[in-house]
Structure 1
C-alpha cells in the first residue's frame, strides 16, 4: 500500500472535525497586514459550486469569492466574535514594530494599521492615512499624514512618531526582527545603527505632519513594501529604553494604535475585547464591539455551527468537504500569500555581525542529501489526499499569489523515490540495515521538528518521516508547539543545534523581493543559507535596472531556479485560505484586491445564525 494512502487512512480514522496543520506563521519582514485592501474580482460562490463537475472529491480555489455577499440590512451598532484558531496562546507583542508571529498580527490588525495602503498590484497608493510624492530620481519621498489621523488617546499621529519608529528599529539595542536591507537602504541608517551618528541623516521632519526620507538606492521594492509605514507613538515610548519597549506594559497590556477599534481589555494570550474608535480617520466604525478569542483547532467547527464565533482567521481546509453544507455561514476563499516548506539547517545566526554564518560541515550541508529528501515526498498527492485540492504541490519559493513573478514553468523537483535512492548511493550514503550511514561510515540520524496543530499536523509530519525512511534515512520526529518551534529554529537569533530539518510556513510580503527571508542579514533566514550567486541576484532584484518588469521577472526566475538547485529549503504546498463568515456579517472580505475596510463591518441582526442542518 502506498505510504500516502496509509497516512490518509490513519487520518480518516482519527479525524473528528479538528484542524489541519493550519499553523500560524511568522510573516516575513516585508509582510504588512492592512485593514485597507483594495478591489478584487468576484467569482463563483461555494453554494453554486460545492464540488467539481467530475465529483472527484477535489475542490479549487476558483470556486470561491473573496468578498462576502450581503444579506439583509445593517442594524445600528452590534458586535461580532472573531476566532483566532490556534492550539497555543498568542504571544502578545502587540506593536507592528516588534511583533514576529501571525497570531499577534491578527490582533494588531483590528486596532492599528500602516500609514500607507496598496492596490491590487501591491503598489503603494495615496488612499491611506498618508500620501506620498517621490523625487524624479526615485530616491527621496515626501510623506504627508492626513490631519484627522490620531492615536486612540487623542494625540495626533505625527512625523516625529514615524521618525521615532525608524530610530528605534535602527537602534543597536532593538530586539525585534525588522532591521534589514530595507532599513540599511536609508541614507545614514548604517552610521546611526553603528553608533557613528546620533541621527539618521536621510530622514527629515519637515513639520508635524510631513516626513522626508532619502534612500541610498532607488529600487522597485520601495513602492511595494520597502517603505516602513508603521509609526511608533513617541509620547508613549520616548522615555522607555529601546531594549525594554517590546516587553513593556505599553506593548503587552495597554497598546494603542490609530485603527478602527481600540482595546478595552486583554486576557493575555487568550482574548481581546475591542470597542469602536469613533475618531477613526476613515469614519466611525459600524460595530460597537469586536471580541477576539483564541479557539482550539479541535473546536472550530462547533464554534462556527453554534454561532460561538462569527468568523475565524483561517479554516482547516481539510475539513471543508465535511462542512461545506454548513447553513449559517458563507465560505470565502483566496490564494494565500504563503507556502509551507521543509527547511534544512546549514549554519547559525551571527548576532554580533547581524548576519547568517553558513557552516559547510553542517549535517545537512550536502545538497545531494537535501535533494534526495525532496525527491522522496509526493506533495501533489499530499495536497489531494490531505487537503482535497485546496492546497497543492509547490514548486518554487515565489508563490502564485504573485503571478507576475511566480515561475509557473519551473517544475521544481518531481517526486521520484528511486532517483532519490540512486542519488544517495552515488553520494556515498550507503545502506547499513534499514538506514544509511554518512559517506564516512558514521551513523546518520536526522532530527526533524514540526508544529503541532490539529488532526493533520502529526500524520502529515509522519508521512514525511516514512517517505524518508523509504529511501533509507533515519529521521526522528519531534512535534513542537508554535512559540517553542520558532524559538528553536532561530527566530530569537539562537539556533537549536538539535534541529537539523524543520517543517515551517511563510507568509510572504506584498513585495516579491525575498531578501527578508533569505538574505544574509535576515534573521528569518532560518536555514542560515548564503552564497555569492544569491547575493548577486537579490541585489539585482532591487537595482535600478529592475524597474523594468521584464528584467526583474528574469532575475527572480533565475533566483527561483537557484533555490531549486541549492535547496536550503524546498516548498511543499501552496495554499488556499478559506474563511467561513456568519451570514449576519455584512461588508467583509479577505485577501488582497478588495475595497472593503474593517471599519465598514456591520451585522444584520443581534445574534449569529446557527447551523440548521
Structure 2
C-alpha cells in the first residue's frame, strides 16, 4: 500500500476548553470509547456478493476538492480519496506492506546489478482499452521530474535512478537510467540505480514510483499545462476497477465499471463520492444517506447507536503536528534553504511552545477519548522503528517558562520580547474543517499566552484547506508556525518528508546532522535491521530535541459502513494506493 504524504484536512483547542477539560467528562468515559474502537473489526464480514447496486461515499471536507486526477501531480487527501475507485497502483502488498506478485505489475530487485525491474502484466489496460506499457511507467517519472509540471512529488530520493537529476535540471531530454528492453510498447521497465535501498522491497519506499500515467492520452499536452488540462481535470484515464462517468467540479465524482479491468468485472454498478461538510457527518450516518462515511470522532456519541451499520476501525499510519517555518524552498536549486534569521530559528522558543501545549487533554476531551498524543515522528504502528523510550513533549508550563527565561525572552508587560529586546509576535496558521478545530486552536493560543508569548491566529481566523496548502507550499512569509497532518508511507524512510531535497519538508529545516541520519537509515549498512532501527531511534531523539516539527496526536479512524456491504477492508493486502481496493466491494446476496 503506497500511502502518500498529504497535508491532512483533518483536525487541527478557548478559554472554555480548559474549563471543560477540568470539569468535564471523566477519564473513564474517555477510555471507554477508545476501548470500544479497539474492538472494532478491520473489515466487514465476507459474504457471497451479488452483482449490481450503487454505493454512495461521503467525502467529508468543508471546501471543494481540488480535482487533480493524476497521482504524479496530486497532493491533497480529498483528491486521492475521490480518485480511489479508478486509481490503482502497480503493486499489491501483503499485510506488512511488502510488495508481492499479485498486483498489476511485478518487481524484481537485483542488488548486485543495482537494478529494479518492473514487469506489467498482460491485460492490464487503461479504461479506453489500451494496454499499460513501459512508456506509461517512464512517463510518470517524467511528469514528476520535469520542472515545468511543478510536481511536488519530486524529491532528491529519485536521484538514485541514473540520469534522473540531469533530466530534472533540464540537462538531458530523457532519463538515461530508465531502460525499456522491449521498447516503449513493451511491458518491461528496468530502473538502473546508483544503489538499491533496504526499503525498496516495501510499498511506499519513495525511491520507486508505484504508478503509471497514460502516455498515449497525455503526450500532446505541454508539461506546463498538464495539471489544468481537461484530460486530468474532467476526463481522466485509469486502469483500476472503475472509470469516471461524471465529475461535478469540487463536489462529486460518479464511477462506473471499467470493462477492461484486468482482475475481472467489479461488483457494483456505480460508486459515487459526494462532498459533505464534516459538521453534517453524523447526520449523514444516522439518516443512511451514505453507504460509507468516516466517523468524525468528536461526533462519536451521536452515531454509535446507529442501526444497520458496521463500524470498521484502525489506527492509521498518520499523525498531526505543528511545524515551525525556518526557511524557504529554492526552486532553482531544488532544495530547502534555512534562514538563520527566521523568527522561529531559536530551538529554545520552539521547545517552550511545545511544552506549553496541553495536547493530550484537549484532544481526548474533544474526540471522546478517540485521539491520543504521540511522542515522536515515527508512530507506534512502525513496530521496532518506533522509539518507545522517547517521551516527546508532555504538557509542562513550568518547564516552558524556565526555557524562555534561560534563553533571554524577558517579559515586558504582558508579552515576552526577543533576547535582543525587540517585540515578538508569532503568527500561527491552522486549518478550518471540523467544528472542534476553532476551540482547539484557541486553546493552544491561550496556552502560549500563559507563558508570555504573543501568538496570533493568522488573519484572525482559521484558514480554508486549499488556501492553507498554498501558503505552506509557497512559504508565505506571514506564517511562523502552522498545524497540519500527514498520511504516511508504509515504508518508514524519512527522506521524502524531511530531507534537504524534498518540497514536502514544509518547515524548510536543513541541518548536517539531519541529512547524515536520514542517509544512514537508508544506507547499505541499513540492510542490517538492527543498524537501521538504531538510526531511526537516533533520528527521533535528534528531532525531538530540535523541535522543528512536533507531533501532536493520532486517532482511531472509524468508518460507518452499510451492514449490507461486504468485502470492505482496511487491511494493507486488500487496499491499494492507501485506499479501498474497490474491486472487492459489493452488496451481500
Whether the TM-score (by the shorter chain) exceeds 0.5 is: yes
Sort the Cα spacing of 1:470 and 1:12 in 2 relative to 1 into closer, same or farther, 3 A: closer
Matches of 1:284 and 1:262 in 2, distance apart?
A: 12
2:39 is the counterpart of 1:63: yes
Check whether the contact 1:86–1:295 (CA below 8 A) recurs between aligned residues. Answer: yes
Sort the Cα spacing of 1:269 and 1:433 in 2 relative to 1 into closer, same or farther, 3 A: same
TM-score normalised according to structure 2 size: 0.91
2:555 is the counterpart of 1:601: no
Q: CA deviation at 1:173?
A: 1.6
2:56 is the counterpart of 1:95: no
Matches of 1:209 and 1:54 in 2, distance apart?
A: 56
Give the match for residue 244 of structure 2.
263
Instruction: Give secondary structure in 2 for the equivalent of 1:402.
Output: helix
2:174 is the counterpart of 1:174: no
Tell me the alpha carbon deviations over residues 283-311 of structure 1, each in whole angstroms, 9 at most, x when there is no partner. Answer: 21000111110011111111112221111
Tell me the alpha carbon deviations over residues 496-530 of structure 1, each in whole angstroms, 9 at most, x when there is no partner. Answer: 11111111101111110112111111111111101
Q: CA deviation at 1:76?
A: 2.5
Matches of 2:30 and 2:325 in 1, distance apart?
A: 42
Give the match for residue 220 of structure 1.
198
Q: CA deviation at 1:166?
A: 1.4
Equivalent in 486, 500, 512 of residue 469 of structure 2: 486
Tell me the alpha carbon deviations over residues 63-90 of structure 1, each in whole angstroms, 9 at most, x when there is no partner. Answer: 22111125x7533311110110000010
2:240 is the counterpart of 1:230: no
Write the mapping of 1:223-302 to structure 2, written as runs, cut at 5 A: 223-224=201-202, 225=205, 226-302=207-283
Matches of 1:591 and 1:139 in 2, distance apart?
A: 32
Equivalent in 195, 204, 209 of residue 170 of structure 2: 195
Matches of 2:335 and 2:451 in 1, distance apart?
A: 35
Q: Which runs of 5+ in 1 are unaligned?
A: 14-50, 606-613
TM-score normalised according to structure 1 size: 0.88
Matches of 2:378 and 2:105 in 1, distance apart?
A: 29
Check whether the contact 2:21–2:362 (CA below 8 A) recurs between aligned residues. Answer: no
Write the mapping of 1:147-546 to structure 2, written as runs, cut at 5 A: 147-207=122-182, 208-224=186-202, 225=205, 226-312=207-293, 314-477=294-457, 478-490=461-473, 494-546=474-526
Give the match for residue 611 of structure 1.
none
Give the match for residue 40 of structure 1.
none
Give the match for residue 41 of structure 1.
none
Matches of 1:196 and 1:57 in 2, distance apart?
A: 60
Sort the Cα spacing of 1:300 and 1:433 in 2 relative to 1 into closer, same or farther, 3 A: same
Matches of 1:380 and 1:64 in 2, distance apart?
A: 23
Q: CA deviation at 1:11?
A: 9.8
Matches of 2:455 and 2:448 in 1, distance apart?
A: 7
Check whether the contact 1:10–1:459 (CA below 8 A) recurs between aligned residues. Answer: no
Check whether the contact 1:4–1:381 (CA below 8 A) recurs between aligned residues. Answer: no
Check whether the contact 1:52–1:59 (CA below 8 A) recurs between aligned residues. Answer: no
Q: CA deviation at 1:534?
A: 0.5
Tell me the alpha carbon deviations over residues 228-268 of structure 1, each in whole angstroms, 9 at most, x when there is no partner. Answer: 02111111111111111111100001001000110001001
Give the match for residue 23 of structure 1.
none
Tell me the alpha carbon deviations over residues 106-155 of structure 1, each in whole angstroms, 9 at most, x when there is no partner. Answer: 02211121111222222211111001222242621222111110000011
Instruction: Give secondary structure in 2 for the equivalent of 1:401.
Output: helix
Q: CA deviation at 1:277?
A: 1.4
Instruction: Give secondary structure in 1 for the equivalent of 2:216.
Output: helix
Instruction: Give secondary structure in 1 for the equivalent of 2:316.
Output: strand
Check whether the contact 2:21–2:365 (CA below 8 A) recurs between aligned residues. Answer: no
Tell me the alpha carbon deviations over residues 33-86 of structure 1, each in whole angstroms, 9 at most, x when there is no partner. Answer: xxxxxxxxxxxxxxxxxx99988544244222111125x753331111011000
Matches of 1:53 and 1:576 in 2, distance apart?
A: 17
Q: CA deviation at 1:594?
A: 4.3
Equivalent in 530, 534, 550 of residue 550 of structure 1: 530
Check whether the contact 1:4–1:382 (CA below 8 A) recurs between aligned residues. Answer: no
Q: CA deviation at 1:12?
A: 13
2:543 is the counterpart of 1:563: yes
Q: CA deviation at 1:167?
A: 2.1
Tell me the alpha carbon deviations over residues 531-572 of structure 1, each in whole angstroms, 9 at most, x when there is no partner. Answer: 000100111111111011111111111111111011111011
Matches of 1:138 and 1:513 in 2, distance apart?
A: 23
Instruction: Give secondary structure in 1 for the equivalent of 2:221.
Output: coil
Sort the Cα spacing of 1:555 and 1:56 in 2 relative to 1 into closer, same or farther, 3 A: closer
Equivalent in 8, 17, 23 of residue 7 of structure 1: 17
Tell me the alpha carbon deviations over residues 415-470 of structure 1, each in whole angstroms, 9 at most, x when there is no partner. Answer: 11011111111111111222111111111111001000121111001111011111
Matches of 2:506 and 2:104 in 1, distance apart?
A: 34
Instruction: Give secondary structure in 2 for the equivalent of 1:110.
Output: coil
Equivalent pairs counted in the alignment come to 561
Check whether the contact 1:436–1:472 (CA below 8 A) recurs between aligned residues. Answer: yes
Instruction: Give secondary structure in 2 for the equivalent of 1:423.
Output: helix
Check whether the contact 2:111–2:195 (CA below 8 A) recurs between aligned residues. Answer: no
Matches of 1:442 and 1:164 in 2, distance apart?
A: 52
Q: CA deviation at 1:348?
A: 1.1
RMSD: 2.1
Matches of 2:80 and 2:31 in 1, distance apart?
A: 37
Q: CA deviation at 1:223?
A: 2.2
Check whether the contact 2:127–2:259 (CA below 8 A) recurs between aligned residues. Answer: no
